[in-house]
Amino acid sequence: MKPAAFDYFKPASVSDALALLAEHPDSCKILAGGQSLVPAMNFRLARPDILIDINDLSELDYIRTSSDRLHIGALTRHAAFHRPVIAAPLGRLLSKVVRHIAHYPIRQRGTFAGSVAHADPASEWCLVATTLGAEMVAHSVRGERLIEASAFFQGTFTTALAADELLAEVRLPLLSEGWRTGFYEFSRRAGDFALGMAVAALKVQAGTICVAHLGVGGVGDRAIRLVALERQLVGQSASIAIVDEIARAARALVEPDGDIHASPEYRRDLIATSVKRALTEALT
């Protein structure tokens, strides 16, 4: 298949890109890694009149830290996370998660921000962003806007980004000392999208969980933060004795649809297992 005809722009600055977005908000698409957009165009599921290729905007290719955040620029490729980008537990978590995203060549081109903007319900980065409470930094000719993950993801392939906005940066909490993390994903083959997955991040002080982040993905139209179970975890002793109870509760909380890949019952089982393994990893 070949895409429908389109005009192609490769701006030399972010301000030029924003001006193009402002001029053609409803008929253009940003091209980042192209690993989701190009297949969609080839199948004519997406038919933008104009592509704005941001690959020359090297000022968007960065990973920086501030006192409490990891700042991920829009052109940061998945492959940048193959090795821990920081020594803190967050670096190890991201380097574990990234190996579940597609295949090596796709990870060389696809971007963290492109995944977040694309908002596939089974995207690993969307799960991480939702669970850790990421902030998205949107730029347009109107200025900068910060969007919390809880407001950003609105459903399958749907976000709070306006048509003239570029997702310029994603900010994750640094998870410095005292944090422990875990991730587990089940997919049919290496590189496939997840049928069920979970992320856990627990802050432990003096043997007690004092902050908990727990989220699941691959069920429903977006990743889900299990806020009720996070509350249940806080105040508990940091031991694997609590893992089975939380996994059973997660199973009851999710309401997956069935499809050709898995029945709702099977997906619930996968979620319970993913939560159990992610929490066990974080607590051992």
Which residues contact ligand FAD by CB under 6 A?
Answer: 29-37, 39, 74, 101-102, 106, 110-111, 113-115, 117-118, 120, 123-125, 161, 166-167, 191, 193
Q: State in Å, rounded, how far the first CA of the chain is from the last one.
A: 49
Calpha distance 231→86 (Å, rounded) = 28
Q: Residue with the closest Cβ to ligand FAD?
A: 110
Measured from the CB atom, is 50 or 204 closer to ligand FAD?
50
Measured from the CB atom, is 22 or 210 closer to ligand FAD?
22
Q: Counting beta carbons within 10 angstroms of the beta carbon of residue 231, is it exposed (0 to 12), middle (13 to 18) or buried (19 or more)?
A: exposed
Measured from the CB atom, is 25 or 235 closer to ligand FAD?
25
Measured from the CB atom, is 243 or 271 closer to ligand FAD?
271
Q: How far is CA 182 from CA 35, 128, 185, 189, in A?
A: 27, 11, 10, 21
Q: Considering the complex, what minimum distance in angstroms separates the CB of residue 64 from ligand FAD?
A: 17
Measured from the CB atom, is 120 or 230 closer to ligand FAD?
120
Dihedral of CA 131/209/243/249: which sign? negative
Q: Considering the complex, what minimum distance in angstroms separates the CB of residue 36 from ligand FAD?
A: 4
Which DSSP state fits 62?
A: -
Q: Considering the complex, what minimum distance in angstroms separates the CB of residue 237 from ligand FAD?
A: 34
Q: Considering the complex, what minimum distance in angstroms separates the CB of residue 73 from ligand FAD?
A: 9
Dihedral of CA 237/243/245/248: which sign? positive
Q: Considering the complex, what minimum distance in angstroms separates the CB of residue 239 from ligand FAD?
A: 32
Calpha distance 101→81 (Å, rounded) = 11
Q: Considering the complex, what minimum distance in angstroms separates the CB of residue 4 from ligand FAD?
A: 15
Helices 89-98 and 124-132: crossing angle, nearest 10°? Answer: 150
Measured from the CB atom, is 119 or 209 closer to ligand FAD?
119
Measured over all CA atoms, what is the biggest interatomic distance in the chain, rounded to whole angstroms? 61
Measured from the CB atom, is 23 or 265 closer to ligand FAD?
23
DSSP code per residue over 93-139: HHHHHHTTSS-HHHHHH-BHHHHHHHT-TT-HHHHHHHHHT-EEEEE
Q: Considering the complex, what minimum distance in angstroms separates the CB of residue 246 from ligand FAD?
A: 25
Which residues on adjacent β-strands are paired with residue 159?
A: 153
How does strand 153-155 pair with strand 158-159? antiparallel
